[in-house]
Chains A and B, each alone.
Chain A
Amino acid sequence: MRFDWSAVGAFLPTFAKGLLVTLQALVLGSLIAFALGLVWALAQRSPLKAVRWPVTAFTEFVRNTPLLVQLFFLFYVMPEWGLTLSALATGVIGLGLHYSTYTAEVYRSGIDGVPAGQWEAAIALSLPRRRTWTAVILPQAIRRVVPALGNYVIAMLKDSPLLFAIGVLEMLGEARQFSSQTFQTVEPYTVVGVAFIALAYPASLLLRALERRLVR
């Protein structure tokens, strides 16, 4: 086996396109996961069973079924019901939705971790419920869980090649296409592997530094 550096050079332009798609999916997927996760976490604290139960059932269902199955469902079944989205949009929604059920748990633990005395102080000052959440509880809860949320971004990055299964040309997709055209496998897959490490490892170092700063 020979490692052909010129193949690496040839792969780089398409790799860059794939990297861009991966980062797009990751950023947009994370935003959906962060926002929806908070919605689920708050809904699960609703005094109304009619809100709490369906949300709990939905999040349990999504968390306990594979992301790949969910992506196939969104991409191949939803069009039957009249909802057709591009592969990338489906991938972003799938990633975001799947991981939102995990971030919901993260938010829940963060909210539970805010001392009871903070709720009591908010009541003693007659702060309205919404203000209590936005000014007192959530800022404290989210600060505690930023590192845990970050871990899920890294997990999402590592799950992003699943999007290739529905035809999204992210890093792995581009590598696969390059290798089928050039019959060179070692170089493109090595570049993709190195790229994942180059993204994930500094990110996890950054998270550890954040954790030291935020969780005191």
Chain B
Amino acid sequence: MSADRSTPNTPPAAGGAASSGGPAPAGDTELIRFDAVTKRFGAHTVLDALDMKVYSGKHVTLIGPSGSGKTTILRLLMTLLKPDEGTITLGGRYLTHEEKGGKLVPASDRYSREVRKNIGMVFQQFNLFPNMKVLRNLTEAPVHVLGLDKDAAEERARELLELVGLTAHLDKYPSQLSGGQQQRVAIARALAMRPQVLLLDEVTSALDPELVAGVLDLLRDIARSTDITMLCVTHEMTFARDISDCVMMFDAGRVIEFGPPEQLFTDPVHDRTREFLSAVR
């Protein structure tokens, strides 16, 4: 599919992400950067002055116990949440702030929309538009956000439906599809926007066990065949090991350990990581 994407293809170097003080692999472009990002829900601090970088084209998996802040990171990147403190940048542009008169102010809706066009997200509950057929779910945003004409958007939608193996279902409503099929449409819908970054929020958690493999295989394909930067929250450790350049272990709003999957899964440094991994295996 997106061989014509404008983002440069980066070599699959290890250590694509780093927490505060982590070394940046030479030659890689920094795409996402969290600077001292704090997010609280009431008295509960979900993210605590988090520093994080993700390099272009890397596949990063966020693991950790529930409530450790993994999903919050994805939701902050998608601007579904706003940070209480700190800033987030995408390709050097602020995401939830903008500079006005030399000052950093909360971003306007228009500005946020412009920056986040480069980010796509796939949700646990699919969130397809039930009032639109599959094809229009895929063309709605390309036509009304990217300004593609209807024919071009439909042609691209058909290509993506072929990629996800659902060409036969383009004229159906989401409610006529199985959970696994709906999630594959949701993945295609996110890809239709040609995002630089794809956020995957526990995309198989709501699926029946027999449907999980199909969706994960599709994501493996996408990870292999495209240069999209992926941030993935999952409990599927085998999948995480397969696709990730870097795994980040979260606990209580902080990254306590990160590294390539073969290192983090086989020889974790932190006790908390060891406990978590033995619990989920």
Contacts and interface: CB of A to CB of B under 8 A. Distances in A.
B51 interface: no
A124 B215 CA distance: 20
B15 interface: no
Contacts of A128: 113, 144-145
Given A136-B129, A140-B131, A121 B123 contact: yes
B240 to A, nearest CB: 22
Contacts of B127: 115, 117-118, 120-121, 124
A83 to B, nearest CB: 39
Contact of A126 (B123, B131, B189, B193): B193
Most buried by B among A124, A127, A216: A124
A127 B145 contact: yes
How big is chain B's contact interface, by range?
A: 20 to 34
Contacts of A123: 78-80, 116
Nearest to B136: A135
A176 interface: no
A69 interface: no
A124 B199 CA distance: 10
Most buried by B among A121, A131, A216: A121
B184 to A, nearest CB: 15
A118 B80 CA distance: 12
A215 B65 CA distance: 38
A136 B131 contact: yes
Contact of B141 (A117, A118, A127, A129): A127
Contacts of A139: 131
B253 interface: no
B123 A120 contact: yes
Contact of B145 (A126, A136, A140): A126
How big is chain A's contact interface, by range?
A: 10 to 19
Most buried by B among A115, A135, A139: A135
A143 interface: yes
A67 to B, nearest CB: 34
Interface of A: 115, 117-118, 120-121, 123-129, 131, 135-136, 139-140, 143, 216
Given A124-B190, A126-B193, A143 B78 contact: no
Nearest to A142: B131
A124 B190 CA distance: 8
Contacts of B132: 135
B123 A135 contact: no
Contact of B117 (A118, A126, A136): A126
30 contacts: A115-B127, A117-B123, A117-B125, A117-B127, A120-B127, A121-B127, A121-B129, A123-B78, A124-B80, A124-B116, A124-B120, A124-B121, A124-B123, A125-B120, A125-B140, A125-B141, A125-B189, A126-B114, A126-B116, A126-B117, A126-B193, A127-B145, A128-B113, A128-B144, A128-B145, A131-B144, A135-B132, A135-B140, A140-B129, A143-B131
B214 interface: no
A125 B123 CA distance: 12
Contacts of B175: 216
B131 A127 contact: no
A125 B131 contact: no
A127 B80 CA distance: 13
Contacts of A136: 129, 131
B140 A127 contact: yes
B130 interface: yes
B141 A126 contact: yes
